[in-house]
């Protein structure tokens, strides 16, 4: 009998009516008449996991994304039923599963809908590969908006967009490129001041439609695997995001030098060129903490080797650079050159560590070294071997950071620019094809790199940066947005992409400042660097094919302006380091888009130019040429202009002056901002005094300041300092209270307080509840500064009101 597969093709298939359900502790299992199984697991009062099996049998429950240390637990769980639904109730939400077709709805406790299935779960058989396309469609309500999905180079609000996640090497990518370097299948929905999140943990190629095909429907689907997603309820976006980052994991605290300014180019070589660049930075008093070595430092682009003609004694060079305050960061790619005289290749070949095609041959592809084989990083023993290869470059030569590139994986001169789909992977004991492993390949390479650098750099902290990643990869590595272009549009994209990555759990991110491809003008370079100093990762990187891109290349005016901003970056390092501590401990994003900062204000839902750096600094980059200012939206509240201390009232759009040497920066009233003196590199100067900039307000505001040794792991034994400042202001007085936790003692003994916007002249000062002579605190009336001991608990200042009004 000849089977006509066209006649057999059924199109979309759906669950039929419920025949039974069973409640077992935190899990409720549903079985439909046509054998579909739905499993709902209550992980927290605000988090549910949904899994569907079309044949009643679930795949092995394994995920690279989920952090094994994430905490589960809920306060209340009740399962009941009525005529039409099974009803799951927790402390925060209600979930209803329809008896006739297993469609799902989630609701607030008052019955208000949060997210409801449209068609709900459905699937389509894939005869070419086996398995199914698994699909989910949800109802979208009027004025519902969507945010997230990692590094997508498109409008910040995803409403109306259709996007795919398939890690792809996209040199000189364009706006609205559908597929880029990372796969982060997590988004947040916001409607009526209620936020929720969806994390679709499926490593196959995934797709998302945010009301693009149908205006009232949003959907997500995958080319294989299981319909397995997590629903996270807010109602605040901050609740959703911190729950997601707790689920997928948070990084360890980076060394502070990794937050300094970094300089990179494809490529700095030979050694004399590297030394020349480093010397120029010091000669010009332009702060810099790291110099990068691209692929030309290697012997024929063979990973873990050195070109001895260009770098005859790398250990000496690295040591000399470090003595001048520069950390060396080196690139490592996944492609291993086919060369039996190359020890790394030979060892991997002997141990069968390389990926194979379906019929047995090794996966062969062309990258920078020529013909290469590629390690299977989804095998634990391969990751362990890879980590051991860092013994020499990290442990002996002294390189301090590793940069993983081309790990989408990128392969030249083949369709799709990556591995063929039949390549086989171990997937940590769950064998699969490249269709399933592709999106985690770069993440697992970065994981192996992290483990090696951490091992051989101990007791110092590791620094890893990767181009490709998957959800959860933030546990191991920082990232950047890849091969952008020196255009004004890409400056705009860099701003949006980093905000989006921060909203997707990957806060340690930056762009290639100035653009990787092509050559920026001095004006574009200046504007980009003004933005880049507020990104968690701050690096100039360019292609050598298009000319020089060091700050001094563009002339004296650009040099002066860019130096001023990099110096500001170094002054704000304690503030940024504190923001990193909040990210590491609580999952709080380092950059906060305005919609995250104030989701109740509908004016923020479509804005992406402005963002909050940390908790209390508002930044708005200039993203057009030949302008002397711009319109920007000031969020609700009152804000001080950083440059002139002028107080403005937010909740409105306004014109701000911004000549070339100025980027609009505003400080939230009541904020207390810790600042370092300008240094040429982190820890160059022994701190003798710490500055605190205090921005007056009528009312209360809390600020934080975190310190430790800037590297190493003593902070995990309580050797840190976490200061909380409580500011209380009235018309003619202010009180600053300090509470300190931790056993770390900084080398300085005093704070230099600088007051901004203080509306009265100081008449009396009470220090620790005792009145003191203001001269004893070295009060400088002209500059509005005074000096106090760093461990004060309360400072009370009383004066005569002069008035301080905002626009």
Cα separation of 177 and 221, whole Å? 19
Are 409 and 366 contacting, i.e. CB atoms less than 8 angstroms apart?
no
Residue of 246, 405, 512, 523 marked active site = 405
Q: Helix (H) and strand (E) counts for the chain?
A: 13, 51
Question: Parallel, antiparallel, or unpaired: how do β-strands 512-513 and 538-540 relate?
Answer: parallel
Query: For 23, phi and psi rounded to 5 degrees?
Result: -105, 120
Please count the CA atoms within 13 angstroms of the CA of 539 that sit on its side-chain side.
27
DSSP state of 335: -
In 596-720, DSSP assigns E strands to 611-613, 617-619, 629-634, 638-641, 647-649, 652-657, 665-668, 672-675, 689-695, 699-707
Whether 408 is catalytic is: yes
Whether 101 is catalytic is: no
Give the residues across from 690 on adjacent strands: 751
The number of angstroms, rounded, from the C-alpha of 621 to the middle of its chain's C-alpha atoms is 19
Query: What Å distances lie between residue 507 and 245, 289, 502, 524, CA to CA?
Result: 10, 20, 4, 24
- Alpha helices (runs of H) in 29-168, residue ranges in sequence order: none
> For the sheet containing 785-789, what is the strand order?
672-675, 689-695, 750-756, 785-789
Query: What Å distances lie between residue 692 and 384, 676, 695, CA to CA?
Result: 46, 9, 10
Closest CA to 230 of 78, 68, 63: 63
Cα separation of 520 and 540, whole Å? 12
Whether 405 is catalytic is: yes
Are 345 and 374 contacting, i.e. CB atoms less than 8 angstroms apart?
no
Are 484 and 514 contacting, i.e. CB atoms less than 8 angstroms apart?
no
Total residues belonging to the chain? 807
Cα separation of 400 and 754, whole Å? 36
Are 630 and 620 contacting, i.e. CB atoms less than 8 angstroms apart?
yes
Cα separation of 182 and 466, whole Å? 10
Cα separation of 341 and 310, whole Å? 21
Query: For 257, phi and psi rounded to 5 degrees?
Result: -60, -30
Q: What is the DSSP string of 149-162?
A: -SS--S-SS-TT-E
Are 452 and 386 contacting, i.e. CB atoms less than 8 angstroms apart?
yes
Task: Work out the end-to-end distance of the chain between its first and last CA atoms, rounded to an integer number of angstroms.
Answer: 83
Q: Which residues contact 407 (CB under 8 A, 6 or more apart)?
A: 333, 334, 441, 442, 445, 446, 466, 467, 468
Residue of 117, 246, 408, 704 marked active site = 408
Residue of 151, 201, 246, 483 marked active site = 483
**Residues with catalytic annotation?**
405, 408, 483
């Amino acid at each position: 009998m000849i089977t006509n597969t066209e006649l057999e093709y059924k199109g979309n298939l759906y669950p039929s009516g419920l025949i039974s359900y069973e409640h077992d502790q935190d899990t409720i299992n549903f079985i439909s008449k046509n054998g579909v199984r739905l499993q709902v697991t209550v992980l927290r009062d605000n988090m549910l996991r949904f899994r569907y099996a079309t044949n009643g049998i679930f795949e092995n429950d394994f995920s690279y994304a989920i952090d094994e240390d994430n905490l589960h637990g809920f306060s209340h769980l009740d399962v009941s039923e009525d005529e039409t639904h099974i009803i799951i109730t927790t402390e925060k939400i209600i979930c209803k599963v329809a008896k006739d077709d297993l469609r799902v709805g989630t609701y607030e406790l008052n019955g208000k809908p949060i997210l409801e299935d449209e068609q709900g779960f459905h699937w389509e058989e894939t005869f070419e590969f086996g398995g199914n396309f698994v699909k989910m469609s949800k109802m979208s309500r009027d004025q519902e908006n969507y945010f997230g999905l990692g590094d997508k180079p498109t409008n910040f609000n995803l409403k109306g967009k259709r996007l795919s996640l398939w890690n792809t090497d996209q040199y000189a990518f364009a706006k609205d490129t559908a597929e880029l370097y990372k796969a982060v299948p997590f988004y947040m929905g916001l409607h009526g001041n209620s936020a929720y999140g969806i994390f679709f943990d499926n490593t196959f190629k995934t797709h998302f439609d945010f009301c693009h095909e149908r205006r009232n429907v949003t959907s997500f689907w995958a080319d294989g695997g299981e319909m397995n997603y997590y629903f996270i309820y807010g109602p605040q976006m901050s609740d959703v995001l911190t729950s997601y980052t707790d689920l997928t994991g948070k990084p360890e605290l980076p060394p502070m030098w990794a937050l300094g300014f970094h300089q990179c180019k494809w490529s700095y070589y030979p050694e004399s060129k590297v030394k020349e660049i480093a010397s120029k930075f010091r000669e010009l008093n332009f702060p810099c903490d790291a110099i990068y070595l691209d692929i030309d430092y290697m012997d024929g682009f063979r990973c873990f080797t050195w070109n001895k003609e260009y770098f005859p004694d790398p250990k000496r060079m690295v040591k000399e650079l470090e003595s001048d305050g520069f950390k060396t960061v080196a690139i490592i790619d996944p492609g291993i050159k086919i060369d039996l005289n190359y020890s790394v290749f030979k060892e991997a070949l002997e141990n069968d560590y390389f990926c194979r095609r379906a019929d047995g041959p090794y996966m062969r592809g062309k990258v920078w070294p020529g013909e290469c084989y590629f390690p299977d990083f989804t095998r634990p023993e391969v990751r362990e071997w890879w980590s051991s290869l860092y013994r020499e470059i990290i442990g002996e030569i002294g390189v301090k950071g590793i940069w993983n590139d081309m790990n989408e994986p990128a392969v030249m001169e083949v369709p799709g620019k990556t591995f063929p789909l039949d390549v086989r992977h171990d997937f940590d004991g769950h064998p699969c094809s490249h269709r399933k492993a592709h999106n985690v390949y770069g993440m697992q390479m970065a994981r192996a790199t992290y483990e090696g650098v951490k091992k051989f750099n101990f007791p110092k902290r590791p620094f890893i940066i990767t181009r490709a990643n998957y959800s959860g990869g933030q546990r191991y590595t920082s990232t950047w947005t890849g091969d952008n272009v020196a255009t004004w549009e890409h400056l705009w994209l860099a701003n949006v992409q980093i905000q989006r990555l921060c909203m997707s759990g990957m806060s340690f991110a930056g762009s290639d400042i100035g653009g990787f491809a092509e050559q920026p003008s001095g004006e574009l370079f200046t504007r980009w660097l003004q933005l880049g100093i507020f990104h968690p990762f701050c690096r100039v990187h360019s292609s050598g094919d298009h000319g020089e891109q060091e700050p001094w290349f563009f002339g004296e005016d650009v040099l002066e302006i860019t130096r001023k901003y990099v110096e500001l970056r170094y002054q704000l390092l304690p503030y940024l380091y504190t923001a990193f501590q909040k990210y590491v401990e609580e999952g709080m994003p380092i950059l906060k888009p305005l919609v995250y900062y104030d989701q109740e204000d509908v004016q923020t839902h479509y804005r992406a130019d402005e963002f909050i750096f940390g908790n209390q600094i508002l930044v708005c980059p200039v993203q057009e040429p030949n302008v002397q200012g711009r319109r920007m939206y000031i969020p609700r509240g009152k804000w001080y202009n950083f440059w002139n201390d002028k107080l403005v009232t937010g909740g409105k759009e306004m014109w701000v002056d911004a000549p070339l040497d100025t980027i609009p920066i505003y400080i939230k009233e009541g904020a207390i901002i810790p600042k370092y003196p300008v240094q040429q590199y982190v820890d160059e100067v022994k701190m003798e005094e710490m500055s605190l900039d205090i921005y007056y307000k009528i009312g209360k505001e809390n600020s934080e300041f975190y310190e430790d040794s800037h590297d190493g792991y003593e902070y995990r034994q309580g050797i840190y300092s976490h200061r909380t400042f409580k500011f209380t202001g009235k018309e003619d007085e202010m009180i600053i209270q300090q509470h300190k936790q931790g056993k770390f003692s900084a080398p300085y003994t005093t704070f230099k307080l600088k007051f901004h916007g203080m509306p009265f002249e100081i008449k009396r000062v009470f220090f620790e509840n005792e009145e003191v002579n203001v001269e004893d605190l070295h009060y400088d009336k002209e500059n509005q500064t005074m000096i106090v001991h760093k461990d004060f608990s309360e400072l009370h200042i009383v004066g005569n009101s002069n008035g301080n009004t905002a626009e």
